[in-house]
Amino acid sequence: MQSSQAENAVPAVQKIRADRKFFGNGLKAILGQPYINDNGTFFEVLAVVHVSVDWQVEYFLWDGISRSIKVTSCAKDRQDFMEMLSGAWPLETTNPMYEEFKYRKRMAINYNPENDKDLMVKNFDLLLRNTERILNTAAMRNESHVATLLNAYKDGRRRYPCPGNKGDENDHEGYVITALRKPSGNRLHAYCPRCKNMYRKDDVPIQSITIIPEHPAKGLRLDEIIEELKKLEEQEK
């Protein structure tokens, strides 16, 4: 009898505090609409989801330097989010930045950090010849794994003889892209720009990497760095 009553029991309705309900409903009103605020930051609310007794918000943010998809909620970071909304106005289709905004949003949504290794290999020559530019540009250097690797390459670290060497004056090197520490021994994946091949090297010591000092400027993601480098090189032709 007791188990039957339990099965037929009506689930308790979770109540949402008034301010949180107001917050969630307000976000639904601007869902899918691009905005720009007084300091030139562009954003668009992409999704508003009811989670337990709160609202979770996914939104696209482009500050003119870096683009990203962020998540916040009424209970977390609401004050900063509301400050961003306070000086915001709709981004009209007639605004000269409208198409650029749409492009940046599409790139941010499609970005997958798991593809960074392949992206780095595909654009390795571009990145390597722009080592100094990347290391001397705060937005490219900060929060950038590729900057840390380039700094190591520059110092002669994270470089190993390529298996394609023939023991003559044409010896060449592989540049470590990823390193995995395992109980059975360290494993490296390196790329040789001459052979245009990736190779694996097991049971090798992994030298320490000098971490690039943090900088107040926000950092670009790898896809943004590559995009910016291509633009700069095109301008320099």
Residue 94 reports pLDDT greater than 90: yes
pLDDT at 148: 87
Give the total number of structural domains in the chain. Answer: 2
Whether residue 15 has pLDDT greater than 60: yes
Q: Which residue has the higher pLDDT, 131 or 200?
A: 131
Amino acid found at 232 = L
SS (H, E, C) the chain: CHHHHHHHCCCCCCCCCHHHHHHHHHHHHCCCCEEEECCCCEEEEEEEEEECCEEEEEEEEECCCCEEEEEEECCCCHHHHHHHHHCEEECCCCCCCHHHHHHHHHHHHHCCHHHHHHHHHHCHHHHHHCHHHHHCCHHHHCCCHHHHHHHHHHCCCCEEECCCCCCCCCCCEEEEEEEECCCCCCEEEEEECCCCEEEEEECCCCCCCCCCCCCCCCCCCHHHHHHHHHHHHHHHC
pLDDT reported for residue 221: 85
* Mean pLDDT value of segment 106-121: 88
Statement: residue 128 has pLDDT above 90: yes
Question: What pLDDT was estimated at residue 230?
Answer: 93
107, 100 in Cβ contact below 8 A?
Answer: no
Structural domain range at position 153: 114-236
Q: Quick check: 82 pLDDT over 60? A: yes
* 224 in the same domain as 128: yes
Tell whether 120 and 229 lie within a shared domain. yes
Q: Is the pLDDT of residue 228 over 80?
A: yes
Domain ends where: 78, 94, 110?
Answer: 110
Asked if 101 and 194 sit in the same domain, the reply is no
Q: Are residues 28 and 49 in the same domain?
A: yes
Q: Check residue 182 and give its pLDDT.
A: 66
Q: Are residues 90 and 69 in the same domain?
A: yes
Please name which of 147, 218, 228, 149 lies closest in space to residue 190, comparing C-alpha atoms: 149
Q: What is the CA radius of gyration of the chain?
A: 24
Q: Return mean pLDDT, the chain.
A: 81
Return the minimum-mean-pLDDT range out of 12-16, 149-153, 230-234: 12-16
Examine the fold and report which residue of 110, 135, 153 is the final residue of a domain before the chain moves on: 110
Q: Are 199 and 174 in contact (CB under 8 A)?
A: yes
Give the pairing type, strands 34-37 and 88-90: antiparallel
Q: Give me the mean pLDDT over the 8-30 stretch.
A: 74
Query: Domain check: are 135 and 49 in the same one?
Result: no
Cα within 13 Å of Cα(132), Cβ side:
1
| Mean pLDDT of the 4-32 span | 72
- Residue 13 in this model has a pLDDT that exceeds 60: no
Torsion of CA 195, 200, 202, 205, to 10 degrees: 60
Q: Are residues 59 and 167 in the same domain?
A: no
Mean per-residue pLDDT, 99-123: 89
In this structure, are 128 and 91 located in the same domain? no
56 token code pair: 């979770």
Same domain, 119 and 183: yes
What is the β-pairing status of strands 187-192 and 42-51? unpaired
Find out whether 169 and 150 touch, Cβ atoms under 8 Å: no
pLDDT at 216: 42
- pLDDT at 92 (0 to 100): 94
Whether 144 has a pLDDT exceeding 80, the answer reads: no
Q: Based on the fold, state whether residues 48 and 127 are members of the same structural domain.
A: no
pLDDT of residue 220: 83
Local confidence band at 60 (pLDDT 50, 70, 90 cut-offs)? very high
Shared domain for 133 and 175, answered yes or no, is yes
- 20 plus 70 within the same structural domain: yes
Provide mean pLDDT across the span 110-129: 90
- The domain boundary, picked from 55, 77, 110, lies at 110
Alpha-carbon distance of 95 to 213, in angstroms, equals 38
Cβ(79)–Cβ(85) below 8 Å = no
Over residues 152-173, the pLDDT tens digits come to 898 888 888 887 776 665 668 8
